[in-house]
Chain A
Amino acid sequence: MKNTIAERIFDFLKDYPPFNLISKETLLEVSKRIEIQYFEKDQIIFNQNDTPHEHFYIIYEGAVRLYRFIDNEKHNLDICDEGDLFGLRPLIMQENYLMGAAANEETILYGIPISLFNGIILNYPKVSQFLIASFATNTRDPFSDKHKGKLFANVSSIQKIENSFAETQSAKYSKNPITCSIETSIKEASMIMTKHIINSIIVAKDYIPIGIITDKDIRTKIGTGIFSIFDPVSKIMSSPVVTFPEKITVAEAQIALLKHKVSHICITKDGTDKSELVGILAEHDLNILQTNNPMFLVREIKYAQDAETLKHIRTKASELTKGYLEQEIPIYFITKVITEINIAITKRIIRLAIKELGQDPPVAYAWLAMGSQGRSEQLLMTDQDNALVFENVDEDSYLQVKEYFLKFATLITQKLHIVGFEYCPANIMASNPKWCLSLKEWKEQFKDWVKHPTSDKILLSIIFFDFEYIFGDKELYNQMSESVFKYISKKQTFLGFLSKATLDNPPPLGFFKQFLVEQDGENKDHFDIKSRAIRPLVDAARIFSLHHSLKVNNTIARYEKLMEVESQNKDLFESCANAFKILLQFRTLQGLTNNDSGKFVDINNLSKSDRLKLKSCFKPIKNIQDSLKLRFNVSQIP
């Protein structure tokens, strides 16, 4: 018999593991036997230690929190969202529920009869594999690390498989290394090394390694005149050699190099120096693996001779970002590293530009970053926002000085563009005569913005008041920022205008808790995470910081500083900082996945828990906006 409901349930289940691993016929059979249950917010689904139900559950709509009482204290273990399974393990293990489950919001569950599912587990090895893995990840506890991994015995074994860090990968080495006999003269050996462009040669007999000569030996023992180039290699070789078997991991290789203070390891068949040589592993081989290391990247930037090389390095940096995010390294740390890399690139470009112009800057200047770069919040390639300030000069030389800096700035922005920083569509760049000004002109500009906050001036001040020093004379930058605080402290209503502008971005949840999505255009039905969630938090942090004359730009740092200066509002600022971290991480991951700026999020394609994660960030937005409204008398602003 036709069963429209079962067909719809099938359509839902088939997208979620482990149901996507089951044949259509079987899954349709499962769908026909589902029980649908509705739970109000906070209604209990089952209690810890209850005897297991006949069904386990998948969330069709809503969210369920899993909790556990340990020593009479309730610990929330996880929040499951649409498509998540729960309550299955006790049914399979035939034990009581280890955790309690309650509806975290209005929830509709599909109950799947365990009697039916036991057969599926037996017939589909992939399903049982998935379940074992999911039992492990169910222990992931977003709220405390204390109980991590304690609930299920098999967690560690699974984690081991999943975390294939670089350290446990096998190291790559050169196979079939060049060798010479023990009678070879140093001169001959050096000629072989030169011919093959290698920095070491192994001294061997019948492929059994006896010793090794490196560039260093030739420098320290021949160059210094201790030995003659006509002496045999045996005089200067290091012997015996450090050997390792073929399956050497990166970590083992690193340790061996450090321990023996050598630069090369011989790889032999059985790992001893009595067996046949199969390869050589040099320190350099490990470095190639680690080129995605920030220190290395910064060093490379310093030696880069053109923008194309820098572009290549910047690409590596975004791979680095991806890796960091996957390893769930804190976002604050990642932004710091990426900012350092971006600053290093900009500095290098400025130096290259000066060289290319063939003329040193006529007076002191400072290169400034604006917007997200100024706040050190750039993870992805975004637009350039920059400006330049130069020392006050007398009228006679002004035009000439300005002309130089405009040419200078144009060259820099061009190079930044090559590296991958798009031109700013609003032309907020130092190459624009409006934003390449003397210190005096900047001060006048800021004064005007604060005194006459029309809507276009507010927009500009939002961008410019996040300026950060990048290169040049720091004193010029200091004087600029002091002038901003001075003007604002004289006219606090200005902050009211700034608040009003940001309040035009209301909290992004609709009445029925649905996401407010774009109504039309190219991004219809997409959630604008940048304008609707990130920007309101950034704006609020800026306004409060300007209010307290805090000389920090980074949003997280601003909230942390605000927690100190306004300890009575510590909780509010802390929740904002946390929400911001999550949102930034989210946007970056989105951007890396879709290879764009991550500005728009397709809500329908979001995974279960991500949707919940996003929603949880919206409450702090509402709270901080309410606070802005009151503090800066927004209702008084025309």
Chain B
Amino acid sequence: MFNLFKKKKYPSYWQKHIDAVKNSRNYSNYESIRFVCLDTETTGFDYENDRILCIGAVAIKNNKILVSDSFEVYMQQEVFNKETVKIHGIRRNGTEKKVSEEEAIIQFLEYLDDAVIIAHHTKFDLTMINNALKRLNIGPIKSKQLDTNYIHKKIAITNKFKKLYSLDELCEIYNIKMHDRHTALGDALLTAYVFLKLTYKYKKNNVLNLTNLINTNYYLNK
């Protein structure tokens, strides 16, 4: 009985993640916040049965995209779906160096540190990642999360009630040249560009701080 209330023993990398987010002192000063724009390539859109093939991420700090602070990992998966290979181009026995899902997660959490996550359709990428964590008996991700979609909806003058925008549509709206579409890191970079342009526009009419940004996507951070 007593054991139920006893603090669960987590793997050290997970505990480190929890502590990093909990103890971070960077969130109050916008310039010192490390944002991580991420994107995943998956075998499909089914949260239960599909798997992550690749995570790509790049950091933003003080309005600068730091290429040196980027992350790209490919993982070995049992699940394979030849239909989505056409989209992301990651083959079962491709040339990329692949690691196990657990190893990828360990690397990713270490890279993530106390960063605020930015993605496009964050819910999808985070659910995929959280399901991977669940398989390791940990999770969900503790990091604060933002979604470019909702920041856009907040500042877009027209079509406020329009359905969700695709990354392609946002790139079109904000005049961003599209490269490496459908590679995780390529999409992460596009998301980073969108985020920089969005925050620049956002601060014209709003106070740019983390709380306000987070409030644009109330559903992600309860």
> What residues of chain A have their CB less than 8 Å away from a CB belonging to chain B?
1-6, 8-9, 31-38, 40, 61, 106, 108, 111, 512
For the complex with contacts A5-B70, A106-B175, 17 further pairs of A-B residues with Cβ separation under 8 Å are A2-B74, A2-B96, A2-B97, A4-B180, A4-B183, A4-B186, A5-B58, A6-B67, A8-B189, A32-B68, A33-B67, A36-B65, A36-B193, A37-B64, A37-B196, A61-B177, A512-B175
- Using Cβ atoms and an 8 Å threshold, which residues of chain B touch A34? 67-68
Report yes or no: A2 in contact with B72, Cβ–Cβ below 8 A.
Answer: yes
Interface residue? B142 (CB, 8 A): no
Q: In the complex, which residue of chain B has the Cβ closest to the Cβ of A60?
A: B177
Give Cα A114 to B67, complex, Å.
15
Interface of B is mostly: mixed
Give Cα A34 to B64, complex, Å.
10
Report yes or no: A5 in contact with B97, Cβ–Cβ below 8 A.
Answer: no
Q: In the complex, which residue of chain B has the Cβ closest to the Cβ of A36?
A: B65
Pick 9 A–B contacts, CB within 8 A, sort by A.
A2-B72, A3-B67, A3-B70, A4-B183, A4-B185, A31-B67, A37-B63, A37-B196, A106-B175
Taking CB atoms and an 8 Å cut-off, the chain B residues in 166-190 that contact chain A are 175, 177, 179-180, 183, 185-186, 189
| Contact of B72 (CB < 8 Å), options: A1, A9, A61, A108 | A1
- Using Cβ atoms and an 8 Å threshold, which residues of chain A touch B64? 35-37, 111
Report yes or no: A3 in contact with B193, Cβ–Cβ below 8 A.
Answer: no
Interface residue? B197 (CB, 8 A): yes
Q: In the complex, which residue of chain A has the Cβ closest to the Cβ of B183?
A: A4
Report yes or no: A37 in contact with B65, Cβ–Cβ below 8 A.
Answer: yes
- Using Cβ atoms and an 8 Å threshold, which residues of chain A touch B72? 1-4
Q: In the complex, which residue of chain B has the Cβ closest to the Cβ of A33?
A: B68
Known contacts A2-B72, A34-B67, A36-B64; is A8 also within 8 Å of B193 by CB? Answer: no
Interface residue? B66 (CB, 8 A): yes
Interface of A is mostly: mixed
Give Cα A108 to B180, complex, Å.
17
Closest Cβ of chain A to B104, distance in Å, is: 12
Interface residue? B10 (CB, 8 A): no
Report yes or no: B67 in contact with A35, Cβ–Cβ below 8 A.
Answer: yes
How many residues of chain B have a CB within 8 Å of chain A?
A: 26
- Using Cβ atoms and an 8 Å threshold, which residues of chain A touch B197? 38
Known contacts A4-B183, A38-B196, A108-B193; is A9 also within 8 Å of B63 by CB? Answer: no
- Using Cβ atoms and an 8 Å threshold, which residues of chain A touch B175? 106, 512
- Using Cβ atoms and an 8 Å threshold, which residues of chain B touch A5? 58, 67, 70, 185-186, 189
Q: In the complex, which residue of chain B has the Cβ closest to the Cβ of A12?
A: B179
Q: In the complex, which residue of chain B has the Cβ closest to the Cβ of A61?
A: B177
Give Cα A445 to B119, complex, Å.
69
Closest Cβ of chain B to A104, distance in Å, is: 15
Q: In the complex, which residue of chain A has the Cβ closest to the Cβ of B66?
A: A35
Interface residue? B200 (CB, 8 A): yes
Give Cα A32 to B70, complex, Å.
9
Closest Cβ of chain B to A238, distance in Å, is: 73
- Using Cβ atoms and an 8 Å threshold, which residues of chain B touch A9? 67
Report yes or no: A35 in contact with B65, Cβ–Cβ below 8 A.
Answer: yes
Give Cα A61 to B183, complex, Å.
21
Give Cα A4 to B187, complex, Å.
10
- Using Cβ atoms and an 8 Å threshold, which residues of chain A touch B58? 5
Query: Which of B56, B65, B189 is packed against the most chain A CB atoms within 10 Å?
Result: B65
Give Cα A5 to B196, complex, Å.
16
Give Cα A467 to B85, complex, Å.
64
Give Cα A108 to B65, complex, Å.
11
Q: In the complex, which residue of chain A has the Cβ closest to the Cβ of B72?
A: A2
- Using Cβ atoms and an 8 Å threshold, which residues of chain A touch B185? 3-5
Give Cα A417 to B114, complex, Å.
76
Taking CB atoms and an 8 Å cut-off, the chain B residues in 181-212 that contact chain A are 183, 185-186, 189, 192-193, 196-197, 200
Q: In the complex, which residue of chain A has the Cβ closest to the Cβ of B192?
A: A36
> Closest 3 CB pairs between A and B?
A36-B65, A4-B185, A38-B196
Give Cα A48 to B85, complex, Å.
51
| Contact of A32 (CB < 8 Å), options: B67, B183, B192, B196 | B67
- Using Cβ atoms and an 8 Å threshold, which residues of chain B touch A8? 179-180, 186, 189
Give Cα A450 to B58, complex, Å.
66
Closest Cβ of chain A to B68, distance in Å, is: 5
- Using Cβ atoms and an 8 Å threshold, which residues of chain B touch A1? 72
- Using Cβ atoms and an 8 Å threshold, which residues of chain B touch A36? 64-65, 67, 192-193
- Using Cβ atoms and an 8 Å threshold, which residues of chain A touch B65? 35-37
- Using Cβ atoms and an 8 Å threshold, which residues of chain B touch A106? 175
Closest Cβ of chain A to B57, distance in Å, is: 10
Closest Cβ of chain A to B139, distance in Å, is: 24
